[in-house]
């Protein structure tokens, strides 16, 4: 028997209708929870709306610092780019939402939590699996997935029950946080249509970006950024600054065909200036301080870590296992990377580290080189021994 439900509340149509629908269906008290993960919305308006529709209590949680420290920073260490394109910006926030739902449910003595995810997307996995992993005793409800209403029926339901809805039809569905914006729907559903300029908010058209490049120095310690151009910053300030500067240089636009976990091929558009810039710098610094075998194996680890996050398996023990390796290699990922930001391109043009494996005395081609080239003759013979021996059997 469900008597008190904690609902992840965005203030949008789906979760607004869900307040009333859940209250009617289960005759339950509804407690709403909204997390600030950097989406820059009117949270007072969202709170007032929740109460107006029928919530008995509302929690507004500023989770930006926790999101940056415990979710974005591990993603940077893992060079997290799903299918080599998407820096899992939306995906990262979902297990944090699930965690806060469980915390509020425990505090309020609730027996259920609810979310507004549909049955076609990935977010249902990310929230439900995390909630059940953290507290299997909680019932998880998904009204948007279960009620069977079309969009038009939702709007009619909202009008019938005096639920405030926007009078302006939205062209796109947008979700954003510190690490990026996701934009979908409308004309973007046709993969042949190029995104209109009104899709973008954080980035300027690269053609209109400054004619002079911006040089930015990003300093890392333990695999995460700590300074921009020599200035120490907290994680939120740092990400905001890189988002702003990279976006002004036209960096961060992503358009690709993505494999959802439910099997759907979807056209996804993202805007992630800081993510693309910082991860590019981080990958380059790793190449300077980790050896070839570490880099090769870490790429496998990074890909698996990223898949777990995308697939809603944040609480899987494998993530903790993989992070043990990632965190160990990150101990040497320290130094400064110099980036050239110019008309949509974030290019590494310099790097230095106290753990650098680059030795100019060995690498140089001038007479000061300490590399004994005479050793290469035998090495070449042995390195190609099996290739040469087996070549004669190829047909």
Distance CA 6, CA 95 (A): 15
The answer to whether 17 and 158 are in contact (CB under 8 A) is yes
Query: What's the start-to-end Cα distance of the chain, in Å?
Result: 71
Which string of DSSP letters, residue by residue, matches 52-88?
HHT-SEEEEEE-HHHHIIIIIHHHHHTT--BTTTB--
Q: Which residues are registered as beta bridge partners of 35? A: 61
DSSP string, 3-21: -EEEEE--SSHHHHHHHHH
Residues with catalytic function: 14, 94, 123, 173
Q: Is the dihedral of CA 62, 274, 169, 153 positive or negative?
A: negative
Compute the Cα dihedral for 72, 77, 78, 81 and give only its sign. Answer: positive
Contact between 310 and 262 under an 8 Å Cβ cutoff? The reply is no
Cα 22 to Cα 57, 65, 132, 151: the distances in Å are: 15, 32, 20, 17
**Distance (Å, rounded) from C-alpha 366 to C-alpha 372?**
13
């Amino acid at each position: 028997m469900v008597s008190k439900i904690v609902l992840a509340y965005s203030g949008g149509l789906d979760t607004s209708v869900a307040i009333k629908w859940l209250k009617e269906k289960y005759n339950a008290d509804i407690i709403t929870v909204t997390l600030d993960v950097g989406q820059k919305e009117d949270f007072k308006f969202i709170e007032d709306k929740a109460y107006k529709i029928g919530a008995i209590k509302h929690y507004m949680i500023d989770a930006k610092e926790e999101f940056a420290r415990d979710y974005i920073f591990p993603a940077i260490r893992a060079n997290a780019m799903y299918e080599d394109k998407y820096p899992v910006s939306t995906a990262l926030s979902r297990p944090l939402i699930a965690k806060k739902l469980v915390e509020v449910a425990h505090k309020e003595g609730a027996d259920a939590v609810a979310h507004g995810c549909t049955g076609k997307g990935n977010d249902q996995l990310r929230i439900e699996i995390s909630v059940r992993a953290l507290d299997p005793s909680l019932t998880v409800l998904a009204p948007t997935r279960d009620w069977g209403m079309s969009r038009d029926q939702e709007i009619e339901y909202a009008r019938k029950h005096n639920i405030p809805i926007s009078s302006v039809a939205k062209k796109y569905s947008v979700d954003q946080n510190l690490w990026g914006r996701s934009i979908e729907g409308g004309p973007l559903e046709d993969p042949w249509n190029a995104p209109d300029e009104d899709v973008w908010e954080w980035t300027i058209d690269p053609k209109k970006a400054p004619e002079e490049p911006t040089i930015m120095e990003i300093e890392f310690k333990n695999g995460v950024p700590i300074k921009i151009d020599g200035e120490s910053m907290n994680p939120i300030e740092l990400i905001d600054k890189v988002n702003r500067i990279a976006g002004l240089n036209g960096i961060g636009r992503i358009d690709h065909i993505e494999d959802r976990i439910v099997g759907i091929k979807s056209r996804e558009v993202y805007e992630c200036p800081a993510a693309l810039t910082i991860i590019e710098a981080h990958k380059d610094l790793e190449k300077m301080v980790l050896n070839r075998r570490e880099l090769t194996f870490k790429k496998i680890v990074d890909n698996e870590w990223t898949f777990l996050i995308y697939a809603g398996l944040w609480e899987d023990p494998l993530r903790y296992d993989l992070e043990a390796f990632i965190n160990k290699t990150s101990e040497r990922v320290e130094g400064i990377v110099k980036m050239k930001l110019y008309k949509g391109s974030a290019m590494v043009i310099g790097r230095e580290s106290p753990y650098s494996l680059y030795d100019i005395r060995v690498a140089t081609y001038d007479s000061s080189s300490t590399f004994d080239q005479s050793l290469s003759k035998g090495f070449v013979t042995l390195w190609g021994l099996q290739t040469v021996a087996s070549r004669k059997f190829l047909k």
